[in-house]
Each structure stands twice: as C-alpha cells, then as structure tokens.
Amino acid sequence: MIHGAQQPHSSQKGDVTEVVLVSHNPHKIVEMQDMLSKFCASVRVLSASQIGLTDEIEENGSTFEENALIKARAAAQMGYFGIADDSGLSVDALHGAPGVYSARYAGEPCDDHRNNEKLLLALKDVPAQKRGAKFVSVIAFAYPHQPQLDFTACGTCEGVVLTEYRGAGGFGYDPLFYVPEMHKTFAEMNAAEKNSISHRARAMQCFAQMFAARFGTNESSCARTQCENKWK
C-alpha cells in the first residue's frame, strides 16, 4: 500500500491510498476526492497545505503539460503521489497566446477584465472567420521518485472569441468564448451545460479513465472515453 511519504510500490491496482492535489482550492479537493473514490474506495485526496507544500511553485514551463507536471512533481519530490492541473486559452490568430500566460495576460496582478480587454485589442482587426480558439486543460499525475511513470490527460473545448461580452456568469475569458455547438458563450451557460462540454470536464473524464486503468478496484466504473493522454 502507498501511504503518505513512503516509497511507492508497483502500479498494481488498489495500491494507492493517498494522493496530493497540488491546490489550495477546497472545491477542487472535494471534486477530485469524489471522482477518484469511484475507482479506488480507499484513496484519500490531500491538499498541498496538508503536506506543508505552501510556497508558490514557479510555473516556468512553455506548455500546459509542462506546468501541470512541474506542480505535480513538487508533491512527488516529497514522497507523495501528486496531481496538478494547468489550463488556459489558446487563440489561433495569436499563435496560441495567451496560452500558459492566460491568467496574467495583462500582467500582474491577475485581473479578468484587463485580460479580456487586452485580448479584444489584440484581435480588433481579425475577422470573425479567423477568431478560432480553444480552451485547454491538462491534468498531470506524478509518481514519487519514479518520473518515468508520470502521465498527463488533456481536454479541449473549441470555440471562437467574440468582439463583445455576452453573459454574466463564469469567470476569466468566459464572456468572450463562444461555443458554436451550444450557441452560447461559457458565461451564458449554466453549470450543467458548461460541465458537459468544458475542457476541464473532458480532461477529468480522461484522467479518470487513466487512473482507473492503473489503480481502479471497480472495473465497471471505468467508462471508455475519447481522450488525449501521454505516458511520460
């Protein structure tokens, strides 16, 4: 059994009891606990602060995958299984920007309105047919002292960047990100609608499949989904 900071065993099913989600967001901890418990009843999800990982982690990767792995490996270096995510908006006409800088696109401190205004300015001369974009979410899982076993799961949601704000919900770039299949921006969707198609929801589904394949004790719970994943 893997427990806390002990050296991990092999990746046999059911041998993980504690994982660390490198986040201080209690809602994310509960969400991850609920999901992983479906596949491994004994698993317990800890927050970064519960293992003393309180210092800000420098996310200096050039991709969402690199940043997610940097954070997950911070917990792995302390002897724990680590989970972390990174996400953002990639705009075709801006060659993928704001990308990994999505949260601080307009500089520090992070400010959603300033980020949106900078995005609108950057796209002011771009016609509607060339305003394609996608939200990307990557979830990384890191093994303690065994980085060759680490893996990532990726989810995306395709859309376009509008020329004006629509909707009062959500956060970040949600009022500008229009999803054609839903005929709404993220900010116009209710929680159920957004969770059904969002990049994060798709990444979580993919991650759940991969976690179940390695650690699941309930095979019937592992639904087959189309997902992007990488074994490191």
Q: Mind telling me the catalytic residues? A: 86
Q: How far is CA 211 from CA 11, 78, 190, 221, in A?
A: 10, 21, 28, 11
Residue 38 CB partners (closer than 8 Å, separation 6+): 208, 218, 221
Interatomic CA distance for residues 201 and 229, integer angstroms: 14
Reduced 3-state DSSP string for the chain: CECCCCCCCCCCCCCECEEEECCCCHHHHHHHHHHHHCCCCCCEEEECHHHCCCCCCCCCCCCHHHHHHHHHHHHHCCCCEEEEEEEEEEEHHHCCCEHHHHHHCCCCCCCHHHHHHHHHHHCCCCCHHHCEEEEEEEEEEECCCCHHHCEEEEEEEEEEECCCCCCCCCCCCCCCEEECCCCEEHHHCCHHHHHHHCHHHHHHHHHHHHHHHHHCCCHHHCCCCCCEEEEC
